[in-house]
Amino acid sequence: MGREIIVGLHFYQPPREAFHSSLQDISTDSKNQNWTKIIEKQCYEPLAKIGILNKASFDIYQSLLLQLEKIDPKIASVYQQSMKENGIGESFIHPILPDLSLSDKSIVISAGVHRFKEITGISPKIFWPPETAIDKETLEVLVNNGYQGFICAPEQVIQFDGQRSDNSPTLIKLNRGREIIAYPFDRSISSNLAFDPKKNADIFTQMYINPIKEKISSNKLIIAWTDAETFGHHFKYGDKFLSYLLDTSLPNSGLYPVSINDIKFDYSKLFTGKIIERSSWSCPHGNLIRWNGVCGCSSGNDSSWKQPFMETMRFLNNQISLILKQEIGNGYEQLIAENFYHLYGQSIESNNLFDNLIRAKISSLVAQTSCATFFSNPDVSAKINLLYAYQALLYLKESGLSRLVHELETVFINKLNSIYFSSVNSTAFSVLEKMLHQ
């Protein structure tokens, strides 16, 4: 007798370019490469053309879809058409959600839901957190936005009997009697799918998937989820490997790929448990330290710049929030969420105070993208955050708040000047200046 398996793909690339008209020609890559465009040809286009999106579950960040709409509208359309059946939700952009304020969590999560509904006509029910980083407040915001479940690593959830939540959808109790389901992926299958050579899908299934199938009980769910870029970018011809795996190798072993959106549960029969606060799938050191300081993920490289860097980005974002409260009033979050897509990526200049303030806020949120501090070397991705922070200041100036912006800009620059990037022997502000004048 066969059983179901979920194979999921995580599609994400950071925004490579700013959208202000004066910044569009600035590259954030040290070799002036547009990696999203390169990966689109190596991976996203082949996966779309081979029909993977009709066979696998997936999350695709709206900030990536927006880039694909400009690079290849036809390929972007394939992804959009597949979202209703096999797509799950995301937070539009990719910050570490537990590091955001409640207000900012609400903005980025609601913005993702709003755009998902614009594309598909329905609301997403399952969520992929950036880096699967979670805390209870984030889960509360998810439920506020209609989500019923979220994807996570097995080590992020502990059942109330003290066991790790391997392959067991687990019910997490929230405030006011509410609840949400944690969907842990199988760590071993997912890791092997990510890092093993993509040569023979039959052997892969025999070695890594069948043993799990035989070991776990039928009331547990097999979920494999990994970065989509694995298939075609990291491993050439990975798209063909994945297609054969889904069409042939798994069914031949009695495993049938289904959409995670089609899974139904009797809540009374689910395991119950709790999340590990401020945990993620990509750092085992706790408290999301990889993105905020020094941890073992740095492999001995200097990452002392991370804490002051992210604190500076949060300072700018928080100051812009105060300006929005003053100029628009409380409740501005929904206004931003509903206009996120239409004002993000549009280079049309506007004298409208609200449009420019919303663009400034969107920019300061993107300036908290997790990619900056994922790596030890700030030259890899921190330029993206610096460019978007500068863009936020530009939009504030264009809103007409000149005196206020001058004061904020002075403090912000002083903070950047105090952050030293040892890998490039320069301050964060010098890196920004060099980028602006390239």
Query: Residue 212 sits in a domain of what CATH number?
Result: 3.20.110.20
Shared domain for 183 and 259, answered yes or no, is yes
**pLDDT classification of 282: cutoffs 50, 70, 90:** very high
Q: Is the pLDDT of residue 224 over 80?
A: yes
Q: Give the pLDDT mean for 23-51.
A: 94
Picking from 231, 255, 282, the residue at the C-terminal end of a domain is 282
Give the contacts of 17 (CB within 8 A, at least 6 positions apart).
23, 24, 26, 27, 28, 34
Q: Is the pLDDT of residue 22 over 70?
A: yes
pLDDT in tens, 67-125: 999 999 999 999 999 999 999 999 999 999 999 999 999 999 999 999 999 999 999 99
Closest alpha carbon to 132 in 122, 142, 123, 124: 142
pLDDT at 394 (0 to 100) = 95
Shared domain for 278 and 295, answered yes or no, is no
pLDDT at 346 (0 to 100) = 75
Q: Give the pLDDT mean for 179-195.
A: 97
**Degrees (nearest 5) of the Cα angle 53, 55, 59?**
45
Q: Give the pLDDT mean for 235-250.
A: 97
Shared domain for 217 and 89, answered yes or no, is yes
Q: Is the pLDDT of residue 416 over 90?
A: yes
pLDDT in tens, 309-367: 999 999 999 999 999 999 998 889 999 999 999 999 777 777 788 999 999 999 999 99
The DSSP secondary-structure symbol of 91 reads -
pLDDT at 1 (0 to 100) = 53
Picking from 256, 282, 308, the residue at the C-terminal end of a domain is 282
Q: Give the pLDDT mean for 183-208.
A: 97
Compute the mean pLDDT over every residue in the chain, rounded to the nearest whole number.
Answer: 95
Q: Is the pLDDT of residue 4 over 70?
A: yes
Domain residues for 321? 290-436
pLDDT at 436 (0 to 100) = 93
Shared domain for 228 and 326, answered yes or no, is no
Of residues 225 and 217, more confidence is placed in: 225
**31 close to 38: Cβ distance less than 8 angstroms:** no
Q: Give the pLDDT mean for 184-206.
A: 97
Shared domain for 243 and 193, answered yes or no, is yes
Question: In 196-348, which residue ranges form alpha helices assigned H by DSSP?
Answer: 201-204, 210-215, 238-244, 250-252, 306-327, 332-343
Shared domain for 222 and 246, answered yes or no, is yes
Shared domain for 252 and 394, answered yes or no, is no
Shared domain for 136 and 44, answered yes or no, is yes
Shared domain for 241 and 360, answered yes or no, is no
Shared domain for 302 and 183, answered yes or no, is no
% residues pLDDT > 70 (the chain): 100
- Tokens 């769910």 identify what position? 221
CA distances from 275 to 135, 195, 287 (A): 7, 27, 13
d(CA 278, CA 288): 6
Shared domain for 156 and 248, answered yes or no, is yes
Which stretch of 1-5, 220-224, 243-247, 352-356 has the lowest confidence by average pLDDT? Answer: 1-5
**407 close to 323: Cβ distance less than 8 angstroms:** no
Give the contacts of 282 (CB within 8 A, at least 6 positions apart).
131, 132, 290, 297, 374
**47 close to 228: Cβ distance less than 8 angstroms:** yes
Q: Return the amino acid letter for 120.
A: T
Picking from 255, 282, 309, the residue at the C-terminal end of a domain is 282
* CB atoms near residue 178 (< 10 Å): 12
Q: Is the pLDDT of residue 300 over 90?
A: no
**pLDDT classification of 438: cutoffs 50, 70, 90:** confident
Detail the DSSP E strand segments found in 71-191.
Answer: 87-88, 126-127, 149-152, 157-159, 170-173, 179-184
Shared domain for 244 and 355, answered yes or no, is no
**296 close to 303: Cβ distance less than 8 angstroms:** no
State how many domains the chain has.
2
Instruction: Compute φ and ψ for 247, nearest 5 degrees.
Output: -80, -30
User: Does pTM top 0.95 for this prediction?
Assistant: yes
d(CA 169, CA 224): 13
